[in-house]
Amino acid sequence: MVDEQQWQQLKLELKQAVKERIDYGHMMSDEELLEVIEEEVFARSAQRFIPAGRKRSIVLDVYHSFRGLDVLQPLVDDERITEIMINAHDRIFIEKDGIVTMTDTAFESRERLEDTIQAIVGRVNRIVNESNPVVDARLPDGSRVNVVLPPVALNGPTMTIRKFPAQPLTLDDLIDREAVSREAAELLTRLVRAKYNLFISGGTGSGKTTLLNALSQHIPPDERIITIEDSAELQIRGVPNVVRLETRNASTEGKGEISIRHLIRASLRMRPNRIIVGEVRGAEALDMLQAMNTGHDGSLSTGHANSPIDMVSRLETMVLSGAQLPLDVVRKQIAGAIDFFVHIQRLRDRSRRITEISEVIGMNEGEVVLQPIYTFQENGERNGRIVGELRSTGHAQAHTYKLQMYGLT
């Protein structure tokens, strides 16, 4: 009986044998590489019995170590897994169906994990090293990747992969999952089509990007959209005239950084109908608000906060971190730029729900005033799942001139 350690040793021997057969003067195709691996596996199976199922898994594992993401590839390929958390080369956790568990998967060494990290960030022209130990990147399928290296990460290289479905969820999908009511979804659809400026708030992993993707599918196809992100992950479908912009980190010499602020300013000269900023975290909030205030109606963005009111406060702090402006001027910018806040939460049963849609109705005594149009009402639990719905508060929408202008009242 062959134990798991012996199978791992066999894979190491196979990797070494394949390396020795690779001609680095010739770009080997995927098919050629697979053929070489299969030849080596069959050669060893002639010496000792390898079950057919094990044979196939060994071929794929060795192939992924050269062309894929090594031991992570099966996890990335599993559509039910939404998050992969690598705390160390031999401590890998996943989130599947909303539940986080530790896996038996492990890299053969810390060095192999580091090689995989460098391969991932290198594909998107990012640099990560001791002097620049934190970086955001993405996989070819659009999955978001965050890497933290020592000395910042005390226990060794750490990587988190947030996966997104190949087909972005629609508002109908979110209705089916009870994330939003049909009535509220119809309101959001009208708001997007009528070019109201929307800001999505929520905590980490609450579904802000998923909601942003769903809303963007209701943008008319004859418009020009500029998307701006730290790491490109938005999936705009149905609009052909889309320009995707992505930030760039500084080089090892500290030069060449392109920030979200730079990209927002550049986008204003690209004749956009709408600007979509994937997430605002700092001083770029001012540039986003100014873009919304200067004729770029229908713009969308997201940010981290615990509620719409909290998001207003966070935006104030973000703007003030990069500009010496009076607080009342900042608040007027927010009130003039954003029409609606949409808040999404991950509740205690791990479900993701829109819990508030609030309209910005203006200023009162120097404060930005929000009026909730829909709020989530909880009605207890059933089989471990929260029972509740997004209900109208009874407040009518205050500003309807855009709806009237687009014939959507």
Following DSSP, what letter does each residue of 283-320 receive, concatenated? THHHHHHHHHHTT-TT-EEEEE-SSHHHHHHHHHHHHH
Q: Residue 262: its pLDDT value, please?
A: 92
In the chain, CATH 3.40.50.300 sits at 171-405
Contact 279, 259 (CB under 8 A): no
Q: What's the CATH class of domain 171-405?
A: alpha beta
Contact 357, 389 (CB under 8 A): no
Q: Residue 357: its pLDDT value, please?
A: 98
Place of tokens 């009208």: 190
- Residue ranges of E strands in 12-65: none
Give the mean pLDDT per block of 10 residues along the chain (409 residues).
64 71 64 76 75 74 74 88 94 90 90 90 86 88 91 93 86 94 96 97 92 95 93 86 89 79 92 93 92 89 96 96 92 96 93 96 94 94 88 94 89
Instruction: Tell me the C-alpha distance between 201 and 306, whole Å.
Output: 7
DSSP letter at 158 equals E
How many of the other CB atoms lie within 10 Å of CB of 47?
7
CATH number assigned to the domain covering 74-162: 3.30.450.370
Q: Which helix (H) or strand (E) holds 245?
A: strand 242-246
Q: Residue 156: its pLDDT value, please?
A: 92
C-alpha of 90 from chain center: 25
Q: Residue 184: its pLDDT value, please?
A: 97
This prediction's pTM: 0.80
With vertex at residue 345, the alpha carbon angle to CA 340 and CA 260, rounded to the nearest 5 degrees, is 60
Q: Residue 329: its pLDDT value, please?
A: 94
**What b/e string do you get for 59-88 counting C-beta neighbours within 10 Å, with b at 16 or more?**
bbbbbbbbebbbbbbbbbeeeebbbbbbbe
In the chain, CATH 3.30.450.370 sits at 74-162
